[in-house]
């Protein structure tokens, strides 16, 4: 009898939560406050496409030119970009033995050749930064961050990327990274990428509250990919987010996360770091290798707080109180 009452109480809590803040309410919030609008995404992709076409035209006229390919990368390429996006990531493949191996020299080398390929750009529109070269569009105010990849002719477009974490060279494959995400998007169309964007918005809110909080987007994407591969359903956004937070809390970020799309698990090397989230295209790269125990603990504690807030929202008797708890997850921008 007591168990029956408990089950009825739990059911009523969930009904109340759906009544006050439902899946469709979260979806509408994402559309208005979280997602990069489609027209903006299309505009940004078109600008990158124009850069690619100009480079391809220059290459056709100068076949010995060392810049070989530009590929849109990052969140815009994967369809996980947030509304706050203010720059675009593009990988630029560079071949040739004369390309410098020193990072700063390589960036100057890339900038010089970009100016040759795009003579209409003013010199100040093409600027080397710490680990990339930024191309600025004066009209739109948009910045394109071009990251060099040293390329040796691999047919799958593997190359050595300048890591944005520490400037080291890192073996990667941009087409396969995009293919990896697209494969999972097809399994749960719309929902997989949408829950990633909601989780990234949560991270963004935490960073606005604490400048020392770290949880990079690539790690969020890979954790979500592992949950999807394990059979989790992303079609109900409050429940999918709770699954994400519960996984972080239960695993304590100590479980190995890896994939077999492009290599076997037996090929994964020894990774002794506190957090081990292995790059799906490079078994030797731990995407979380820069994260110390205290940083992992901060992520887990934040996930526990977010999970508790969602539980409280589900149990809240009024809409006002429900919104109050959801704001603990998404910040004051959450309004319905």
Give percent of the chain above pLDDT 90.
77
Provide the 8-state DSSP code for 34: I
- Average pLDDT of the residues in 88-114: 91
pLDDT at 16: 42
What's the mean pLDDT when you consider all of the chain? 91
Contact 83, 35 (CB under 8 A): yes
CB 103 within 8 A of CB 162: yes
Q: What percent of the chain has pLDDT over 70?
A: 94
Average pLDDT over residues 70-82: 95
Q: Is the pLDDT of residue 324 over 90?
A: yes
Q: Read out DSSP for 102-137?
A: SHHHHHHHHHHHHHHH-TTS-GGGEEE-SSSEEEE-
17, pLDDT greater than 70: no
133-136 vs 126-128, strand pairing mode: antiparallel
What average pLDDT score do residues 15-22 get?
Answer: 67
Element (H, E) at 275: none
Average pLDDT in the 204-229 region?
97
- Position 255 pLDDT exceeds 70: yes
Residue 18: pLDDT band with limits 50, 70, 90: low
Q: Where are the beta strands (DSSP E) in the chain?
A: 67-73, 87-94, 126-128, 133-136, 143-150, 158-162, 169-173
Q: pTM, whole model, 2 decimals?
A: 0.91
Q: Does an H or E element contain 54, and which? A: helix 38-61
């Amino acid at each position: 009898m007591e168990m029956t009452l408990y089950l009825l109480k739990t059911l009523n809590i969930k009904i109340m939560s759906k009544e006050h803040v439902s899946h469709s309410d979260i979806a509408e919030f994402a559309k208005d406050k979280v997602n990069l609008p489609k027209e903006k995404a299309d505009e940004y992709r078109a600008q990158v496409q124009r850069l690619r076409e100009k480079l391809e035209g220059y290459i056709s006229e100068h076949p010995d030119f060392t810049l070989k390919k530009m590929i849109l990368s990052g969140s815009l390429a994967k369809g996980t970009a947030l509304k706050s996006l203010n720059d675009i990531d593009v990988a630029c493949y560079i071949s040739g033995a004369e390309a410098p191996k020193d990072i700063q020299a390589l960036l100057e080398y890339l900038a010089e050749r970009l100016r040759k390929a795009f003579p209409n750009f003013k010199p100040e529109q093409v600027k080397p930064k710490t680990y990339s070269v930024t191309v600025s569009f004066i009209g739109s105010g948009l910045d394109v961050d071009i990251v060099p990849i040293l390329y040796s002719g691999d047919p799958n477009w593997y190359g050595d990327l300048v890591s944005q974490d520490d400037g080291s060279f890192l073996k990667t494959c941009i087409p396969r990274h995009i293919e990896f995400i697209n494969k999972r998007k097809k399994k749960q169309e719309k929902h997989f990428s949408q829950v990633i964007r909601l989780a990234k918005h949560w991270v963004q809110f935490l960073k606005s509250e604490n400048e020392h909080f770290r949880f990079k987007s690539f790690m969020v994407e890979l954790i979500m990919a592992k949950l999807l591969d394990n059979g989790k359903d992303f079609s109900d956004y409050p429940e999918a987010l709770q699954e994400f937070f519960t996984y972080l809390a239960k695993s304590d970020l100590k479980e190995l996360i890896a994939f077999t799309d492009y290599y076997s698990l037996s090929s994964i090397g020894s990774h002794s770091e506190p957090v081990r989230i292995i790059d799906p295209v490079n078994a030797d790269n731990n995407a979380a290798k820069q994260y110390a125990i205290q940083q992992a603990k901060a992520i887990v504690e934040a996930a526990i707080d977010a999970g508790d807030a969602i539980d409280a929202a589900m149990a809240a008797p009024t809409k006002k109180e429900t919104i109050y708890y959801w704001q603990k997850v998404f910040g004051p921008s959450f309004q319905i």
